[in-house]
Chains A and B, each alone.
Chain A
């Protein structure tokens, strides 16, 4: 028994050391073979990723005006916004589709929400140009001049990805209307057989610049390339579609947080966390004595492990997420309290210390498991609720509370159990009184009632 506990202790020490190391090194990049694992963010303490409410920034949710918008149309919108926000110089923009017709945009560090909206709201500009190579012998066409040919997005009727009927290679298909077919035919006729090309631009950014093997007159064309993958042709056709037909979107939710206020909120919640932990620790030690001390040590380990998981996943920390975490400190001691109370009762029935601790754990376990699963169920529902409307505060809270509850079961059962058994194997175990809580009115009343109940039974 003792040896097994020592082995567990070594395991716990190693785990905590690794966790502390992974937290202390703000950013790391570990490569094992071809698997690369990089974590950490420069912005937050311990390399944790901070949400918009803590580092300041803009969050916008747009909705397509047309309810029956297709998925590829939404992807076109997403692509457009991605390109626009890149141009905005945001370091880590996050753009994701919500449900079938919404899009969530998070721009950390951006303070001017109006400017961001202006940028995102602009209609996309799709343009075909004629590229004249200065050196016809250069197959790469490094030096060139682009000329307007008056072929814009409105003249394109359709763009879609498919495979070549003969070779099976991924291709992008283009279909023009009458006017578009005329201009495209003239252009391809001019450049056919030369090194000149048609260059396609979206918002002045080049998407692709194919050469033409012959004049294409019917208004239907396809683009193929040696480096074309299915993903690439899909992206190109989504970009072309997005540029051809602007999908109207409206802002349905917006939020911007001032960076200084975010920083202030972070500092305050850290202090709150420390105060909370300190008070809980003080109470546990004064009231539960030795089991209180092991509970506080395992609580400290709990905090380190939760932070580690938050960093590794990685979970973006929001103010609400930190609140969920700090709240889970309060709940995390619950398992320890349950066990200590059970062990105390077992001691009162005259069991030896180690036996009392063991029985305390076994008996308290179903209550710990079931009550925590109930909390985890609410966390999952909360996550769903929050992600329905991009409320990162709600999802952040549910994620950290979930991680916290799951981790607390581990630390209560593995860490504090092992520590308590080890302490009970030392000469300290002679002071049995130190292993039970300070006698309190309510608690002695409970035990008294029990003996009475037992008497009734006999």
Chain B
């Protein structure tokens, strides 16, 4: 199989997927964001008997929480998202949560389990900033590390840049798919999603390095004088391993998802998408970028000049 000659199609395919994602990300709501990124309280209740989502929603509105988002979880569970609920005051007054739960018990029966998480808006803003910094810093360090690890190769910086561009390609695609899934199946973007994104960066680079290492080896062995043949050979030789490893990784992710991901559901979905995209990009994007770079040089107009000559 000749992967290298098909690179235009890979690039076009990626561009389309990224574009669809960007379109989805530009239509409100861009993402369904969790409280970690927006601030507010999320109250997760399980009643002893079945509850009706609509009735509970209108009841919450009567309680003065009209902005609350109520979502049914199974027959007896509900997830209520509101602005940050006030805690108890120091004089021993009742907290907003206690008040809500008391009224709900009167109306809908016993609450069996109740879980709450709340994040202030200031912290939520900080989290978004830190998430950006984390992805940026991780990319930078990995780029430096790859350039160092392959320092014996000519233009080892290019390897670092290509690996990171491929990884960011994966991140953008995963973000796009999440934006779509947020609209379709209410999949939420939260701190675990960022964890997933960073893991995807790591995984994608992991896969890319395996291909790069083969390119390094094949260049040293002078498999071919032609760079595109060397790269294609390297991709061919590692594709079996890439697919097998992705398969085993996907197997465990699916096993975790089938057991009911719970609080880490968005992490698992991110990884599920990311592992697939990461495997694709290590074959279709990362090493191909090396070739594009090599052929066109740093100057994007060089090809044009050559044509003139």
Partners in one complex: yes
Within 8 A of B (CB), among A242-262: 250-258, 260-261
The answer to whether B142 touches A456 (Cβ under 8 A) is no
In the complex, A454 has a CB within 8 A of chain B: yes
Q: How far, in Å, is B179 (CB) from chain A's closest CB?
A: 21
Interface size class of B (residues with CB under 8 A): 35 or more
In the complex, B239 has a CB within 8 A of chain A: yes
The answer to whether B255 touches A446 (Cβ under 8 A) is no
In the complex, B309 has a CB within 8 A of chain A: no
Which residues of chain B are near A454, meaning CB under 8 Å? 223
- Knowing A113-B116, A374-B202, say if A253 contacts B87 (CB, 8 Å): no
- Knowing A287-B244, A326-B256, A374-B142, say if A393 contacts B192 (CB, 8 Å): yes
A326 and B271 CA atoms in complex are apart in Å by 13
Which residues of chain A are near B88, meaning CB under 8 Å? 114, 117-118, 121
The answer to whether B233 touches A450 (Cβ under 8 A) is yes
What 6 A-B pairs are tightest by C-beta distance, nearest first? A330-B249, A276-B252, A378-B202, A367-B213, A385-B134, A272-B259
A342 and B293 CA atoms in complex are apart in Å by 29
The answer to whether A375 touches B229 (Cβ under 8 A) is no
Which residues of chain A are near B256, meaning CB under 8 Å? 269, 272, 276, 323, 326-327
Which residues of chain A are near B258, meaning CB under 8 Å? 272, 275
A121 and B90 CA atoms in complex are apart in Å by 6
Nearest B residue to A117 via CB reads B87
Classify the interface of chain B: helix, strand, loop or mixed. Answer: helix
Within 8 A of A (CB), among B201-225: 201-203, 205-207, 209-210, 213-214, 216-217, 222-224
The answer to whether B134 touches A117 (Cβ under 8 A) is no
A114 and B86 CA atoms in complex are apart in Å by 10
Q: How far, in Å, is B205 (CB) from chain A's closest CB?
A: 4
Q: How far, in Å, is A189 (CB) from chain B's closest CB?
A: 37
Q: How far, in Å, is A98 (CB) from chain B's closest CB?
A: 11
Which residues of chain A are near B141, meaning CB under 8 Å? 377, 381
A251 and B90 CA atoms in complex are apart in Å by 13
Which residues of chain B are near A327, meaning CB under 8 Å? 199, 249, 252-253, 256, 271
**Which of B146, B194, B209 has the most A CB atoms < 10 Å from its CB?**
B209
Which residues of chain A are near B90, meaning CB under 8 Å? 118, 121-123
In the complex, A83 has a CB within 8 A of chain B: no
Given contacts A370-B149, A381-B198, 8 further A-B contacts (CB under 8 A): A121-B88, A257-B115, A275-B258, A275-B259, A319-B264, A320-B267, A331-B203, A371-B213
A326 and B192 CA atoms in complex are apart in Å by 16
- Knowing A114-B95, A265-B262, A374-B206, say if A334 contacts B142 (CB, 8 Å): no
In the complex, A389 has a CB within 8 A of chain B: yes
Nearest A residue to B260 via CB reads A268
Q: How far, in Å, is B229 (CB) from chain A's closest CB?
A: 6
Q: How far, in Å, is B245 (CB) from chain A's closest CB?
A: 4
